[in-house]
Amino acid sequence: MDFSMDKEKISAAFFAGIYLVMFTAGLAVLSTGAVLPEIVKDFDIGYDMAGLLLSLQAAGNMSALVISGVLSDFIGRKIILVSGSLMIAAGFLGIAFTSSAIILFALIFISGCGWGISNLLSGVMNDITGGSAKHLNRLHIFFAVGAFTAPFFVILVNALGMDWRVIIGAIGALSVCSAILLAKIKLPQVKRQKGGTVSLEAFKQARYYIFIAIAFTYTAVETVMNGWITTYFQDTGILTAVQAKVILSLVWVSIMLGRVIISIFGDKIKKEYIVIICACVILICSVILVQLESFIGVAVCVFALGLGLSALMPTVLANASTVVKSSGLALGILLSSGGLGAAVGPAVTGIAAEYLSVAASIRSAVVFAVILLIAAFINYLFGRRTKV
């Protein structure tokens, strides 16, 4: 399925809209992990149920990706994207007022659906730029900004003596603002060329499944770290509650920095090189992290880990553009494989934490990191004969 963009000037309002949506998604996802210790205490749930909570959010992300990707071809991207922001709003505003654990799990799933729909913006940017690693990383910088802001938001609200539900409610309100802005802006039109049909070519190429493996394992590692790093360092007593939240933000400071660097130089470096370097850094840091017991040591390792995490997924999406070729179905399944990793990762680590130890939850990320590096190396072999 070939597409061509209308040669129209993209308005500043368009970029403001999609960047706000990505910022809000990052804020929502990381706030869930940042307040997880408070949720565990308030709802009286175990670590296994806490892991399930994060997995349900990721499962909503995954289930929404394929469905919304296909639906967007029929009813338009704007309606789908506005619906995504409204789902985040409904989920978080509902959580802010519920006292039922059952309703909590349902609402977190709904918010995850909104998160998944927001990921369609990567496809929009890919179509506009022809799979530019620079522009994909620039878009994902705003997710990182939201993620970085989340733990500090939690610290500020706690310092003011307010409940964690204030944080969740504020994010819900911001998501309403995102939906309103998306409804008002004009999204660039993507026209299907004459005779175009839904293409299944991506599914016939072995490399497509390597991209799926990378997306799955990367997101599993990232979600484990984002969802459990605060609980791990806080509950083991290695760090104080404030230090643990600062560490979570530090991950996203380095992710922002890495994405800024790639947004500047990304199109000058072969995409496969970026992916394999990032995978190496992720594995090394995942192994070292659980050996550390000082704030400085943890901070340095986490900063390096964030650099490894920073550019991998946006670059993989850009790298896959020549295989996916704007197919809504192929893109949706590729993105949903990341959602599957985000669902499986926390579930595995939650069980490990409940029945082994909290430390085991972080160690389990190493397994995913090993598979990630293997898949990145295979992708490098596929790309050896291609240009930058």
At 386 the pLDDT is 59
At 370 the pLDDT is 95
- Provide the domain limits for residue 71: 8-188+199-385
Does some domain include residue 262? yes
Checking if the pLDDT of 388 tops 60, the result is: no
Does some domain include residue 3? no
Checking if the pLDDT of 190 tops 60, the result is: no
Structural domain tally of the chain? 1
Does some domain include residue 317? yes
Could you read off the pLDDT of 137-167 as tens digits, one per residue? 888 888 878 877 887 888 888 888 888 999 9
At 376 the pLDDT is 96
At 96 the pLDDT is 92
- Residue indicated by tokens 């998944």: 116
At 185 the pLDDT is 78
- pLDDT confidence bin for 307, thresholds 50/70/90: very high
Decide if 326 contacts 1 (C-beta within 8 A).
yes
CB-based contacts of 50: which residues, under 8 Å, 6+ apart?
36, 39, 40, 231, 350
Task: Tell me the CA distances in angstroms from 343 to 340, 349, 350, one per residue in order.
Answer: 5, 11, 11
User: Per mean pLDDT, which range of 3-7, 147-151, 228-232, 382-386 is the poorest?
Assistant: 3-7
CB-based contacts of 317: which residues, under 8 Å, 6+ apart?
122, 126, 136, 334, 335
Average pLDDT over residues 85-101: 93
| 112 vs 135: which has the higher pLDDT | 112
Q: What is the mean pLDDT of the chain?
A: 83
Query: Helix, strand or coil for residue 304?
Result: helix
Does some domain include residue 160? yes
Decide if 315 contacts 215 (C-beta within 8 A).
no
Does some domain include residue 194? no
Average pLDDT over residues 329-339: 81
DSSP string computed for 46-90: -HHHHHHHHHHHHHHHHHHHHHHHHHHHHH-HHHHHHHHHHHHHH
Decide if 61 contacts 74 (C-beta within 8 A).
no
At 189 the pLDDT is 60
Does some domain include residue 169? yes
Query: Helix, strand or coil for residue 239?
Result: coil
> In 246-265, which positions are buried (b, 16+ CB within 10 angstroms) versus exposed (e)?
bbbbbbbbbbbbbbbebbee
Does some domain include residue 1? no
Query: Helix, strand or coil for residue 319?
Result: helix
CB-based contacts of 157: which residues, under 8 Å, 6+ apart?
163, 164, 166, 167
At 188 the pLDDT is 62
- pLDDT confidence bin for 10, thresholds 50/70/90: low
Could you read off the pLDDT of 208-260 as tens digits, one per residue? 999 999 999 998 998 888 777 877 888 888 888 888 888 877 887 898 889 88
Could you read off the pLDDT of 59-88 as tens digits, one per residue? 888 788 778 777 776 777 788 889 999 999
Beta-strand relationship, 3-5 and 190-192: antiparallel
- The Cα 110–Cα 142 span in angstroms is 22
CATH (domain of 349): 1.20.1250.20
Does some domain include residue 193? no
